[in-house]
Structure 1
Amino acid sequence: MMIERRALVGAVVLGLCIAVAGLLVWGFAAPYHQRLFFTFLVNLIAVVGLQVFMGNSDITHFGHVGFMGISAYVTAILATPVAVKRSALATAPFGVNTFELSPLVAVLFAILITLAVAFLVGLMMVRQAGIAATIATVAFLVIVHVVVMNWVDLTRGPRAFYGIPPKATIGWAVATAFGAIVLARAFRDSRWGLQLRASSEDVAAASAVGVPIRKLRFAAWMLSAFIMAVAGALFTLFVGTISPKSFYFDLTFLTIAMLILGGMHSVTGAVVGCVIVTAGVETMRFLESGPVFAGAKLPEMFGLTGFFLGLVIVLSMAFRPSGLLGSDEIDDIWHRRRLRKAGVEVS
């Protein structure tokens, strides 16, 4: 899977923008804003991971957060100290309360287990298309949630899983986000990505010329699951406490709103959508509490965050279904700008 020079430069520039912001936050921001930025980075990695499958196959994917949940819980179960697990997971199966692994080894196991699940689910998923595929992804998310909620001996069920060592840093999150962006661009601009996007426009024509549609969908599915698994592990090792609701419909619709707003066919669009929606969500949370603004006490307006996300999705689908950037990447925009300055007409 090769990436052409211009696309590589675009991916690196986009990643460096995130890295510079991370360095500024890490060096000068208050702990609250550092925590907020880390959450933004995790969401960014998740949105980029979603873009790999959804943006190239054109199949709406509601189950991506399920991979984050699997990875998060496996990381938590393996990395939490034995002293904590003996009380929190007193009746845990497989003897997981008798040992602990280093966070790095726990993450590796979490990624492998998540990929194993993705492999089994993907064998079925690649055979579906349209509404059937979308419903299947919703079913997968619900199944993961139900298992986590009801396997109390292993996951603590609806109760919070605590005691996870908070080893992740903003530096690790920035490096991971950078890698996810480069991986996503590499796949998008590779021969595989081009063929997969072409097949989403006309399946019959793509099949007629020998495009291996199922294999390409499976490759995008597995790469997406890998990126989502890394995001889930990072989140777990930063917050130190997780629960089933952390990886369910709230996060699902948040990441989908980000991708739809920016443009699901563009990695740059995924990043831009993540930035805008994050800023909007934080503004809505501020307004929900009824703050004092210009000397006047505003009323409490609970539910503004959900309203905002719904509005983003509805307005995007109504007025800009291809997203703010459409299928443009940062290097495409810069290239057209250079051509216009040179007096070359660009359509």
Structure 2
Amino acid sequence: MIGSNEPRAIWVQLQTPAVLVIMLGLIALVSSHFGGLSQTLTEMMVRVVLVVGLYVFVGNSGILSFGHISFMSIGAYAFVWLSCCTLPMLKPMNLRGLPAFLQHIALPSPVGLLGAAALAGAVAIVVGAILMRLSGTAASIATFAFLAGQYAFYMNWNGVTGGTALLSNLPVFVGPAVGTGLAALTILVAWLHQESRYGFMLRAARDDQTAAKGSGVNVWFVRTVAFGLSGLIVGVGGAMHAGFLGIVTVDAFYLPLTFLTLAMLIVGGSGSLSGAVIGVVALTAVTEILRRFEAGVPVGNMVLSLPAGLQEVGLGLIIILVMMFRPAGIMGGRELTFGSLWPGRRLSQGVGYRRS
């Protein structure tokens, strides 16, 4: 635990986030030498932020959440309210229901991102304080109800979100470098929470709620803290999404993205931070390869192409195979360290909690 009396050096404690950040940096460096990968790399970094944010709650609490994409939506639209637009007259024209002080404001993109994260985190704290009195399946269903309600609300809040309209001309500031930097920061924050006393108490409640309560753990409080932090991080992912594409639409933040982020977390392994990152990298690589084959790959004098739609089929097949042969995910609940990268060395155990 960070700040504990255990005789472990800070460097030893930070090996996992260091390995993950270096891995993402190397991927970014290699991708920069190949044309056409810039957009894919940036999109992958946005998804790293989303899935790591989801892991902060799901991985540590053991409660499957279907509602976290709502916080991405909140973050994306908060970024619009604070930073839109490249053409100043567009916001008051498209979002007539905004308060007057927001209609004519255009904060710098980094400030807009911070504001978006703050709003998403605040909403997550309030929602978590209500929902985290539930456990197991009841809590999961409640998070899905929140997703459906928030989606319907934003879909019909025409004066503030534009309803079903596409909002464009947003400032584009997220590229490979910014995306990689924000993904690295997210990994560090998630690791610090994981290694904090709140993270250990949350996992104790996950493994044995009765014993944790008997040891003085306030289960509702530690779950709410994780839910709030998780929502804040996912809100950052929403602002990154808006600042990457330069457009926002409510339809982007619903079931397809919910299932994709959950699939990435589960395939990589929800029991470790390394699993969250590896799941994103693995599924992004698979979908990118299949996408390129669908578009056609030159082979000598021929162009080898696969049938359209195989990208989704291949992704589903990969998920099925991983669940069949690695039910705990690719990482199996273990963390990457520098020692584990050498042949013959075992991976360190993931997010179990220490016993005194």
TM over 0.5: yes
Pick from 300, 304, 318 the counterpart of residue 307 of structure 2.
300
Q: Confirm whether residue 155 of structure 1 aligns to residue 156 of structure 2.
A: no
> Aligned Cα RMSD in Å?
2.4
Q: Which amino acid aligns with 1:177?
A: A
Structure 1, unaligned runs of 5 or more:
341-347
Q: Distance in 1 between matches of 2:159 and 2:175?
A: 30
The Cα of 1:285 is off from its aligned counterpart by: 2.7
Q: Distance in 2 between matches of 1:338 and 1:186?
A: 28
Q: Distance in 2 between matches of 1:259 and 1:165?
A: 30
Q: Confirm whether residue 183 of structure 1 aligns to residue 183 of structure 2.
A: no
Q: Which amino acid aligns with 1:243?
A: T
The Cα of 1:335 is off from its aligned counterpart by: 8.7
Q: Distance in 1 between matches of 2:345 and 2:177?
A: 37
Q: Distance in 1 between matches of 2:337 and 2:296?
A: 42
Pick from 58, 67, 85 the counterpart of residue 71 of structure 2.
67
Q: Confirm whether residue 123 of structure 1 aligns to residue 133 of structure 2.
A: no
Structure 2, unaligned runs of 5 or more:
4-9, 347-356
The Cα of 1:281 is off from its aligned counterpart by: 1.5
Q: Distance in 1 between matches of 2:289 and 2:31?
A: 19
Between 251-260 and 184-193, the greater mean CA deviation after superposition: 184-193
Between 245-254 and 314-323, the greater mean CA deviation after superposition: 314-323
Q: Which amino acid aligns with 1:258?
A: M
Q: Which amino acid aligns with 1:300?
A: P
Residues 1-347 of structure 1: matches in 2 within 5 Å?
2=2, 4-26=10-32, 28-30=33-35, 32-81=36-85, 82-89=88-95, 91-95=96-100, 96-288=102-294, 295=302, 298=305, 300-302=307-309, 304-331=310-337, 334=340
- Number of paired residues? 336
Q: Distance in 1 between matches of 2:18 and 2:233?
A: 18
TM-score normalised to structure 1 length: 0.88
Q: Which amino acid aligns with 1:93?
A: L
Q: Distance in 2 between matches of 1:292 and 1:336?
A: 37
Q: Distance in 1 between matches of 2:308 and 2:248?
A: 27
Q: Which amino acid aligns with 1:331?
A: T
3-state SS of the aligned residue for 1:331?
coil
TM-score normalised to structure 2 length: 0.86
Q: How many percent identity over aligned positions?
A: 34
Gap change, CA 1:86 and 1:24, over 3 Å in 2:
same
The Cα of 1:65 is off from its aligned counterpart by: 1.2
Q: Distance in 1 between matches of 2:286 and 2:241?
A: 21
- Conserved 8 A contact 1:7-1:185: no
